[in-house]
Amino acid sequence: MTASVSTFDTPVSGADPFGYEILEDPLPFQAELRDAGPVVYLEKYDTYAMGRYAEVHAALTDWQTFQSAAGVGLSNFRREKSWRPPSLLLEADPPHHDAPRAVLAKILGPREIRSLASSWAADAEQLVDELLARGPKFDAVADLAAVYPLRVFPDAVGIPQQGRENLLPYGDHAFNAFGPPNGLVARGAPRVAELSASIAAQCAREVLTADGFGAQIWAAADRGDITQAQAPLVVRSLLTAGVDTTVNGLAAVLHAFAVNPGQWNRLRHNPALARTAFDEAVRLESPVQTFFRTTTREIEIGGTPIPEDTKILMFLGSANRDPRRWENPDAFDLGRDPSGHVGFGFGIHQCVGQHIARLEAATLLNVLSRRIASLEICGPARRHHNNTLRAWESLPVRVRLA
């Protein structure tokens, strides 16, 4: 990064945050970004970036100034058509955002989902039984993190079996599409129509079970709390945002424990730390690394004037490791209070499914911490690249049973 001359000496970076090198390891770039200033101009995309906690948190909170309806990716919906009908939640501002959000927040509320805990625990037991019966070595991503959410979540939504294999590829493309039209997006393009049609088919009232989140969304439409036309798009939000993110969240916490055996012991001695452990891993790894916002008026950040209708890239992952906010930010520490991290976003768009994610993670960690005395990485860990997500392709682990 070079601090070249620009208006008000705004720091300028020529880096490509969506390029191979930074997707492979974003941490050095994020440190440069934070140290350069509260806002940095990204030459390559003619956009601004924020890497420090204070500004990222503030921008997430201030929906009046930093809108989402122009898209939370690089593409500006004021001028460009989205590759799919925009999300009624993620890519909407008040007042349009209110009703879908209120409906989904109620259905996914911590109290409402409590009834799922016992059946999810049974699913976790069964999955871990099957896994450990095959031996002490497995892939913590392919055999566990990518399996458990797909066992419990689609059933909770109530979608049919057919088409579930499309959930992860669809989510992967949707999160790639928030970035620039690079090779990752091109790679997904040939299947977009097919995957979109498959996901849309899963959102229809007729195919959903009578008692799942999907049916509850349609029931809200019947009560008039949202419109009939909104219902399938609200179901789609669950299917887009609820699978890849939790897979990567679980992979993150498993990786963190594999490389921090002391913290695993700590969890085993105090299983109540499971929830904290998951949020700490979400802070550390930030499965959703970045989102854009668009300015609704001219503002000034750290002396830099930013015009109205400008895209700003918020680095959630960088904010979550900002030493201005976090002591020893690179440590995975169950003694820390990770509250306030922006891994789930913040403000009115904060992840509406966060309680689902926590319940999945805590349930799985509870089973694992009872059965497994220790775990370690036993082969090459490989990253999966995505323009928005920080993900693992493979995490070979060896475990010792308790």
Partner 1 sequence: MFTGMDSTAGTSGVRLAVTAKTRAADGVVALTLAHPQGRRLPDWTPGAHIDVVLPSGITRQYSLCGDRWDACSYRIAVLHEPRGRGGSAYVHDELTEGSIVALGGPRNNFPLAPSDKYLFIAGGIGITPLLPMIRQADLLGAEWKLLYLGRSRNTMAFLGELATYGDRVAVMPKDESGPRRLGELIGDPQADTKVYACGPQRLLAAVERHCRDWPAGLLRVEHFAAKDQGAPARSTPFEVELAQAGLRVTVHPDQSILDALQNAGVNVLNSCREGTCGTCEVSVLQGDPDHRDSILGDADRAAGRCMFPCVSRSRGDRLVLDL
Q: Which residues lie near partner 1 (CB under 8 A)?
A: 54, 57-66, 94-96, 98-99, 102, 109-111, 222-227, 230, 275-276, 279, 299-301, 337-340, 344, 346-348, 350, 354-355
Nearer to partner 1, 11 or 38 (CB): 38
CB of 44 to partner 1, least distance (A): 25
CB closer to partner 1 out of 65 and 260: 65
Residue-wise burial string across 122-145, b where 16 or more C-beta atoms lie within 10 A, e elsewhere: ebbbebbeebeeeeeebbbbebbb
Least Cβ distance, residue 191 to partner 1 (angstroms)? 33
Q: Work out how close the CB of 186 gets to partner 1 at its nearest, in angstroms, rounded to a whole number.
A: 35
The nearer residue to partner 1, 166 or 354, going by C-beta atoms, is 354
Q: Which is nearer to partner 1, 34 or 385 (CB)?
A: 34
Q: Which is nearer to partner 1, 113 or 131 (CB)?
A: 113
State the minimum distance, in angstroms, from the CB of residue 301 to partner 1: 8
- Residue 3 CB, nearest approach to partner 1 (Å): 22
Smallest distance, Å, CB 113 to partner 1? 10
Closer residue to partner 1 in complex, CB, 130/300: 300
